[in-house]
Amino acid sequence: MKKYFTHKPIVYISAAILFCFPLSKSVAQDKTETAKMNAFVNGLMKKMTVDEKIGQLNLVTGGMAITGSVTNNGIGDGVKKGSIGGIFGLYGTESVRKMQEAAVKGSRLHIPLIFGLDVIHGHRTIFPIPLGMSATWDLGIIEHAAHIAAKEATAEGLNWVFSPMVDIARDARWGRISEGSGEDPYLGGKVAAAMVRGYQGTSLKNADAVMACVKHFALYGAAEAGREYNTVDMSKVAMYNYYLPPYKAALDAGAGSFMSSFNVVDGVPATTNKWLLTDLLRKQWGFKGFVVSDYTSLNETVDHGMGNLQTVSALALKAGLDMDMVGEGFLKTLKTSLQQGKVTQADIDLACRRVLEAKYKLGLFDNPYKSLDPQKEKSEIMTDANRKSARVTAEHSFVLLKNANQILPLKKSGGSIALVGPLADNKRDMLGTWVIGGEWEKSVSVIEGIKHIVGDNVKINYAKGSNITDDTAFMKRLNFGPGMVSLDKQSPADMIEDAVKAAKKSDIIVAVVGESQSMSGESSSRSDISIPESQQLMLKALAKLGKPIVIVLFNGRPLTLTWENDNAAAILDVWAPGTEAGNAIAEVLFGNYNPSGKLTTTFPRSVGQIPLYYNHLNTGRPYSSGPTKFKSNYLDISNDPLYPFGYGLSYSSFSYSNLKLSKTKLKGNETLTATVTVTNNGPYTGEEVVQLYIGDPAASISRPVKELKDFKKVNLQIGEKMDVTFNITPKQLKFYNSELKYDWEPGEFIIQVGTNSADTKTARVQWVK
Positions touching ligand BGC (CB under 6 A) are 65, 67, 118, 162, 215, 294-295, 522
Helix (H, G, I), strand (E, B) or coil at 412: coil
Kindly give, in sequence order, each residue whose CB lies less than 8 Å from that of residue 223, ignoring residues fewer than 6 positions away: 171, 174, 229, 230, 231, 232, 263
Q: What are phi and psi of 650, to 5 degrees?
A: -130, 165
Residue 52 CA to residue 320 CA, distance in Å, equals 19
Residue 625 CB, shortest distance to ligand BGC, in Å, is 42
Q: Which is nearer to ligand BGC, 215 or 557 (CB)?
A: 215
Measured CA distances, 129 to 142, 175, 312 (Å): 11, 12, 34
Residue 539 CA to residue 537 CA, distance in Å, equals 5
Residue 54 CB, shortest distance to ligand BGC, in Å, is 21
- Secondary structure letter of residue 343 according to DSSP: S
Q: Which is nearer to ligand BGC, 156 or 522 (CB)?
A: 522
Q: Which is nearer to ligand BGC, 262 or 554 (CB)?
A: 262
Q: Which helix (H) or strand (E) holds 728?
A: strand 721-728
Of the listed 118, 184, 294, 322, which one is catalytic?
294
The helix/strand count (H/E) of the chain reads as 23, 26
Kindly give, in sequence order, each residue whose CB lies less than 8 Å from that of residue 493, ignoring residues fewer than 6 positions away: none
Residue 322 CB, shortest distance to ligand BGC, in Å, is 16
Q: Which is nearer to ligand BGC, 198 or 327 (CB)?
A: 327
Residue 737 CA to residue 226 CA, distance in Å, equals 27
Residue 38 CA to residue 40 CA, distance in Å, equals 5
Residue 291 CB, shortest distance to ligand BGC, in Å, is 13
Q: Which is nearer to ligand BGC, 87 or 722 (CB)?
A: 87
Residue 167 CB, shortest distance to ligand BGC, in Å, is 10
Residue 267 CA to residue 265 CA, distance in Å, equals 5
Q: Which is nearer to ligand BGC, 260 or 592 (CB)?
A: 260
Residue from 141, 95, 148 nearest 383 by CA? 148
Residue 118: active-site member: no
Residue 114 CA to residue 91 CA, distance in Å, equals 11
Q: Which is nearer to ligand BGC, 272 or 426 (CB)?
A: 272
Tallying the residues shown for the chain, one arrives at 769
CB atoms within 10 A of CB 138: 27
Residue from 91, 68, 580, 100 nearest 328 by CA? 68
Measure CA of the first residue to CA of the last residue in the chain; give whole Å: 54
C-alpha atoms less than 13 angstroms from C-alpha of 650 in its C-beta half-sphere: 31
What percent of the chain is helix, strand and coil (3-state, nearest 5)?
A: 35, 20, 45
Q: Which is nearer to ligand BGC, 215 or 427 (CB)?
A: 215
Active site (catalytic) residues: 294
